[in-house]
Structures are given as structure tokens and as C-alpha cells.
Amino acid sequence: MKNTIADIAHKAGVAKSTVSRFLNGGSVSHATRRKIEQVIQETGYIPNSFAQSLKAKKTSMIGTIMPRLDSFSASQTVAGMDEELRKHGYQLLIINASQDLSREIEALYDLARQKISGIILFATQVTETHLAAIQEIGIPVILLGQQHNHVHSMIYNDYAAGYDMGRYVLSMGHRQIAYIGVTEKDVAVGVKRKEGFLKAVSEYDEAEAFLYESGFKMSDGVKTACSLFELNRTLPTAVVCATDNIALGVMKAAHMKGIPIPERLSVTGFGGYDVTEVIHPGLTTVKYGYFQAGHLAAQHIMKLVNDEPVDFLTVMKCEMIHRESVDKLN
Amino acid sequence: MKNTIADIAHKAGVAKSTVSRFLNGGSVSHATRRKIEQVIQETGYIPNSFAQSLKAKKTSMIGTIMPRLDSFSASQTVAGMDEELRKHGYQLLIINASQDLSREIEALYDLARQKISGIILFATQVTETHLAAIQEIGIPVILLGQQHNHVHSMIYNDYAAGYDMGRYVLSMGHRQIAYIGVTEKDVAVGVKRKEGFLKAVSEYDEAEAFLYESGFKMSDGVKTACSLFELNRTLPTAVVCATDNIALGVMKAAHMKGIPIPERLSVTGFGGYDVTEVIHPGLTTVKYGYFQAGHLAAQHIMKLVNDEPVDFLTVMKCEMIHRESVDKLN
DNA sequence: CTGAAAGCGCTTACAG
DNA sequence: CTGAAAGCGCTTACAG
């Protein structure tokens, strides 16, 4: 294992440069080719990629910084990126920032140190520090999931998704609607979806929206729903949740309290997680094409790496999915 | 960005070695320290990690080869490994083999080329080719999820899990039980769980097991369940599924056919996915500690990398979780 | 505390 | 087609 190109050259009775040429597909006579092949075979020589990269001054690696790995959106997106990148000979280096913004910054510098060719940042928030780091490292970066004027961004049309969902719930006759959102620091999920929803509500005079804020976890959804149920007043007829996870939590809370869905309470989510289809009742939600987004992000970063032009802002469509969790009122 | 240690040295008016010493925490006078700090600050110097690794002859990277990224077990395990590794200054390089065994082999060589210090192979099958590659690269490798006599292995006690599940379902009075398994090529999931289950069944004279084989996907579970339902004979009173995913598929199929769970059909899974708790009825399953397994695998590989002794075989316990999806017969 | 020099393993013009 | 030599950016004894 500890063979170097010099060892191989020595054993094959040729010069290092000849071995290198052989390795890189340069012209080598048939005889020497065979000798080198044999020696490599015998020794199990594996080139040292550091030395290679040191000369080449670049790698075929793309880095991605994820806020977490263990969520549906994250794992789908990564799988999509990976598939596309691999198809084109790039390798994906995945960094888990564990939902810690300062780790994202660290990761940007780490990746730069490793001479990664490009970075896809799966963003939840974009701070000034992020921007400074992105500028300083001087490597192509794509923001996925959030938008910033100074960085290539790919976002979902969260406003439209919120609006569509609002319109749908209203069209089903609901007028007293709770909205369980998340922190506004997350512009895409916390602000845009809510704004779209509220726009829809504002178009109906008699409609009323009650806003709540929850964490991202299923258990946060359970908690928020419980406190909502315990307020001593008439329950809204529908609760629109900013994510499928929260919606699942709400459904669980409803089950615990004996509130039938959708008969007494309609519930909706956003995301289109696989499980929303198999649970009962099926969850009405908006499907986000995470896997395809991963594909697209991979294509964009490869273009950027090769100095090809890429749209500064890409907006990805979402798709309403109607299932049984929303009741029609008359 | 294109600064090298030589540039910094030049601008700070010192030698390269001094800058290097500064960077690596060696002793440097206060005055020069300040000068160097300032220059680095101004230039935004980022060391080239290839050159560093080339000298150091090793990296603080651990590689992991996963059959897929977008599954609960995979993402949980990776998250666990990552957390523990990062805590100890290692970085995790994740490779997605996309359920293609030959890609796993490729990945082993790729990681070797990159002078990764150790590898955790999330295994589904261990072939001779795997073994040859592991031996050839000469890097510590841990098998996670499957066992092989010649490689450090960490496995779950699948036999016990299967046995416990069988015992439980039998103890609830079920005697006609369908078992939906997976390919026997996957020894842990396809063989051990089934064997454990069958052992339990063999302990009851009047009990009878009907074996089916399904793919790993939820949709495979749906299909298998549908064909099971369509066989014109009395339905078993319980169906034990080799994974939670399959169980979710079976539950969906039952809903579609109007078969109430657990009143007319009890269903169980293996895995302990998060969703099994929030669905209705809650799924009886065996919880596998994926996240903790990731932690443990990380600890083991770090020991191996540092030439510390590690048990050749580690067996991890699983935990039965009783929920509403199993009915008590009398 | 500081610097000159050799070397990590590979690649790449440049001669031959 | 083949080889000698320089260089990629860093680290590490070794002197001073």
C-alpha cells in the first residue's frame, strides 16, 4: 500500500515520468506499458490523490453543507445531488452543520481549504457572516432553499405554495383557520409560506386566520396543537401547518384528544414527505421536488465551476396534493 | 485566495518555516506573531490541505459507504457517526453507493486513494470482492449491519429481535401468522430476523407461519400485502413484516381494502422509524438504535485508526415497542 | 525564537 | 517513446 510512483518506476525499470504518463493515458510503448501494468498489478499501487491535487490545483469534488442529515428534505436533496454529480465524474463531500449556523461558516472555510471546486449550501438562514465567508473563499457557491441577492440562489416558490394551500382550504368552506408557522428567521418557510397563506385569507372577507409558531420537530407540532386545543374557545375548522412534520404532530395530538380528522378538524402540511401518503387519513400537502432540486443544484454548480453562465435566481415549482385530511364544509 | 505560505512569509518579512510554525502552534515571538496574524487577516490566507496531507501522510477523515442516503436507518446512522467523529476532530466523508454493490467496491478504492484514515461500511451484503478490496487497501474497515469473520463487524441482534417479536405476537394469541421477509442475500434482515421469528413459532405446536418475500420499499409492501389479501383463503390474524417500511405498506394496503387494523389484522414491523409512533394505530415494532450505532461505529473506527484494540464483533441490542397495531385474541 | 534546505508524491514542459 | 529536473504548497529536523 505504501508504494509511490518512484517504487513502481524502479520496479518496472523506467522513469517516474513514464509511469505518470502511463497513469494519465499518455503515449507509452507497448512493452513498457505491459511492464508497468504488471508491477502495478502486483504491488496494488494506489496513487496518492493529495499529490495529484497539489499539482492539478483543483479537485473534482463538490461540497454540500446541510443543516441536518436526518430529515426527509435533506436526505432526498442530497441523494439527488449525489446522483447527478456522480454521473458527471464529480464526488460529493457532505458536511453536516447540525443546525448550527456557525458550523456552516466553519464548513465553508473547511471546504475551501480542501480545494473543493464548488459548494451547495442548503440554507435556512443567510447572515452577513455567511456572505462574508462566501466572498472570502472565492469558490462558486449556490444557495439552495433561500435567496440572497449576491449569491446564486435556488428557491421553491413558497409564497405560491402558501397561497395555493390557503385558496384550497378556503375553497373547501373553511373560514376559521389556524396557521402553525415557524421562526421568521427562516425566510422561505417562516415568512413566505405564511404570507402566501395570509394573502389567500385576505381575499375572503369572512375568513379569519389565527397564527401560532412552532419548532420544526414533530414533537413541537404536538405541543403547539395541544396548547391550541386547550384554549377555551371554539376550535378552528382547519389548521394549516408550515411543514409536514408539524402536521404529523398535530394529527397525533388530535388522535390523543379524540378529535377526529377531518370530521372535526382539517389538517394540511407542506413538503410532500413519503409518509403523508400512507398515513390515514392521507395528508393534504404541497409536494416539494427535493430530489429534482438536488439534481438541478448539481447541474448548476457544475456549470458554475466550469465558468458557464447560470441564472442568478432559480424558482422551483411546487405541487398541491389533495388527500383526505381536509373536509368539505357546507 | 491564491496566497501560499510563501506569500505570507514574504509580506510579513519572515521565513516560510516561521509562518508554518505559527500556523501549527509552535513557538513564535510576540512581535512576529502579530505581524503574521495581520497579514493572514488581510490576505484571507487559507492553507492548502493537500500540501498539508501530503506531508502528514494522513488525514483526519473517516469515510463511510452507504447503500443509500434517503432512508431512516441510513440518515440516522450517518447523523450519529458524524456527531461523534466531529467531536473528536475527524471529518466524515459520505459516499452513496446507490444500492449497487460494485459501487461499494469502487468506493473502497476511492477512499483509499484519498488517504482516508478509516472506513465504515454500512453493509447489506458482504461478497468475496468486498473482502478482497478491504484487504488490498490496507485501511481499517468496520462493517456495520452485517458480520464477516475477517472484518471488524457491528451487528444488531436480529435473531433475538425476530424471536422477541414472534414471542410477543404469539403471546397475544395469534396462531396463523404471515411473515413478509426480504431477500436472503441480506443476511441480517433477510435471514436472521426470519429465523428468530420462526424459532418462536416452532415453540407453539398449534402455530403456523406463512412466508412471503417482498422488496424493501413501501410500495413493495403494498404489493405483497395485496396479493396476500387476494389469495382466496382465510386471512392470517397477524402479519409480521421484516421492516417498518414494509409494515407501512401493508397498513396502507389494508386501509385500501377496508380491512381494519388491528381488529381484523394485526401488523408489526422492525426498525422503530419515527413515523411508526405518529401513525394511527401506532405500529408495534422493534426499535433499532441507529443513531447510537453510528456513535459507536465512530468510536470503534477512531480506536482502530489509532491502533487501539476493538472487539472484533459487537452485537447491539434492540428494544420491543408495543403499540396498538397488535390485537389481543382470546 | 528564527531561517535554509530537504522532502512529501505527483505532473509537466523540455530535451533527447 | 522516454528521462532528468523543476515545481505544486507545506512541514520538519537541523543549525544558529
Cell of B139: 485501511
Q: Is the CB of B56 under 7 A from strand C?
A: no
Interface probe with B: pick from A46, A99, A116, most Cβ of B within 10 Å: A46
Contact B316, B156 (CB under 8 A): yes
pLDDT the model gives residue B21? 87
Answer whether A280 touches B (CB < 8 Å): yes
pLDDT at B156 exceeding the cut of 60? yes
Query: Angle between the B72-87 and B290-305 helix axes, to the nearest 10 degrees?
Result: 40
pLDDT the model gives residue B39? 87
Nearest in space to A280 (alpha carbons), one of B92, B184, B313, B252: B252
Answer whether B241 touches A (CB < 8 Å): no
> Pairing mode, if any, of strands A91-96 and A118-122?
unpaired
Q: Nucleotide C9: nearest residue by CA–C1'?
A: A51
CA of B120 to C1' of C15 (A): 48
Alpha-carbon distances, residue B312 vs A73, B80, B120, B192 (angstroms): 36, 21, 14, 19
Answer whether B49 touches A (CB < 8 Å): yes
Answer whether A218 touches B (CB < 8 Å): yes
Phi-psi group of B8: left, alpha or beta (phi > 0 → left; psi -120 to 50 → alpha; rest → beta)? alpha
Cβ within 8 Å of residue B168, ≥6 positions away: B268, B284, B320, B322, B326
Whole-number Å distance between alpha carbons of B77 and A79: 16
Please tell me which of A109-113, B242-246, B255-259 the model is most confident about, judged by mean pLDDT.
Answer: B242-246
Nucleotides of strand C under 7 angstroms from a protein beta carbon: 1-5, 7-13
Alpha-carbon distances, residue B292 vs A67, B172, B316 (angstroms): 20, 31, 10
Interface probe with A: pick from B94, B103, B252, most Cβ of A within 10 Å: B94
pLDDT the model gives residue B11? 87
Cβ neighbourhood burial of A234 (10 Å; 0-12, 13-18, 19+): exposed
Of the given ranges (B83-87, B188-192, B245-249), which has the lowest mean pLDDT? B83-87
Protein chain B, residues 46-75, with a C-beta closer than 7 Å to any atom of nucleic acid strand D:
47-48, 51-52, 54-56
Indicate yes or no: CB of A279 within 8 angstroms of CB of B279.
yes
Average the pLDDT over B107-114 and give the result: 84
Indicate yes or no: CB of A46 within 8 angstroms of CB of B109.
yes
Tell me what the pLDDT averaged over chain B comes to.
Answer: 91
Average the pLDDT over B269-282 and give the result: 90
Indicate yes or no: CB of B75 within 8 angstroms of CB of A69.
yes
Whole-number Å distance between alpha carbons of A182 and A215: 6
Whole-number Å distance between alpha carbons of B164 and B196: 8
pLDDT at B127 exceeding the cut of 90? yes
Could you tell me what percent of chain B has a pLDDT over 70?
98
Contact A256, A45 (CB under 8 A): no
Whole-number Å distance between alpha carbons of A266 and A247: 10
Cβ within 8 Å of residue B135, ≥6 positions away: B150
Closest Cα in chain B to A139 = B1
A275 φ/ψ angles, rounded to the nearest 5 degrees: -65, -25
Q: Is the CB of A16 under 7 A from strand C?
A: yes
Answer whether B324 touches A (CB < 8 Å): no
Query: What residues in chain A have per-residue pLDDT under 70?
Result: 1-2, 57-58, 232
Whole-number Å distance between alpha carbons of B302 and B310: 10
Q: Is the CB of A32 under 7 A from strand D?
A: yes
Domains parsed from chain A with CATH numbers: 5-47 (1.10.260.40), 58-156+290-315 (3.40.50.2300), 158-288 (3.40.50.2300)
Residue with cell 417482498: B214
Indicate yes or no: CB of A46 within 8 angstroms of CB of B83.
no
More confident residue, B88 or B244: B244
Whole-number Å distance between alpha carbons of A195 and A199: 6
pLDDT at B15 exceeding the cut of 80? yes
Q: Is the CB of B4 under 7 A from strand C?
A: no
Q: Is the CB of B20 under 7 A from strand D?
A: yes
Contacts of A251 in chain B (CB under 8 A): 278, 280
CA of B51 to C1' of C3 (A): 21
Buried b vs exposed e over A284-312: b needs ≥16 C-beta within 10 Å? bbbbbbbbebbbbbbebbbbbbeeeebee
Cell of B256: 385500501
Nearest in space to B304 (alpha carbons), one of B161, B138, B173: B138
**Per-residue pLDDT tens over the stretch B159-182:** 999 999 999 999 999 999 999 999
Contacts of A79 in chain B (CB under 8 A): 68-70, 96
Within the 104-163 window of chain A, which residues sit less than 8 Å (CB to CB) from chain B? Answer: 109-110, 112-115, 136-138
The β-bridge partners of A267 are A239
pLDDT the model gives residue B250? 95
Query: Angle between the B128-137 and B101-113 helix axes, to the nearest 10 degrees?
Result: 0
Residue B1 pLDDT level (bands cut at 50, 70, 90): low
Protein chain A, residues 213-232, with a C-beta closer than 7 Å to any atom of nucleic acid strand D:
none
**Using a CB cutoff of 8 Å and minimum separation of 24, what contacts does B8-16 make?**
B8/B36, B8/B39, B8/B40, B8/B43, B8/B45, B11/B39, B11/B43, B12/B36, B12/B38, B12/B39
Whole-number Å distance between alpha carbons of B237 and B256: 18
Omega of the bond prior to A236 within 30 degrees of 0, cis? no
Whole-number Å distance between alpha carbons of A23 and B182: 43
Contacts of B92 in chain A (CB under 8 A): 94, 96
Contacts of B251 in chain A (CB under 8 A): 278, 280
pLDDT the model gives residue A163? 98
Interface probe with A: pick from B50, B82, B279, most Cβ of A within 10 Å: B50
pLDDT at B134 exceeding the cut of 80? yes
Answer whether B305 touches A (CB < 8 Å): no
CA of B17 to C1' of C4 (A): 9
pLDDT the model gives residue B232? 58
Closest Cα in chain B to A279 = B279
pLDDT the model gives residue A232? 58
Indicate yes or no: CB of A92 within 8 angstroms of CB of B91.
no
Nucleotides of strand D under 7 angstroms from a protein beta carbon: 1-13
**Per-residue pLDDT tens over the stretch A233-291:** 778 999 999 999 999 999 999 988 999 999 999 999 999 998 898 888 899 999 999 99
Sign of the four-CA dihedral A259, A263, A265, A267: positive
Q: Is the CB of A57 under 7 A from strand C?
A: no
Widest pairwise Cα distance in chain B: 89
**Using a CB cutoff of 8 Å and minimum separation of 24, what contacts does A85-91 make?**
A85/A298, A85/A302, A86/B96, A86/B98, A88/A298, A88/A302, A89/A60, A90/A60, A90/A61, A90/A62, A90/A117, A90/A298, A90/A302, A91/A60, A91/A61, A91/A62, A91/B95, A91/B110
Return the half-sphere exposure (C-beta side, CA atoms, 13 A cut-off) of residue B96.
Answer: 25
> Pairing mode, if any, of strands A318-321 and B152-156?
unpaired
Closest Cα in chain A to B53 = A50
Contact A108, A78 (CB under 8 A): no
Indicate yes or no: CB of A275 within 8 angstroms of CB of B248.
yes
Contacts of A249 in chain B (CB under 8 A): 278
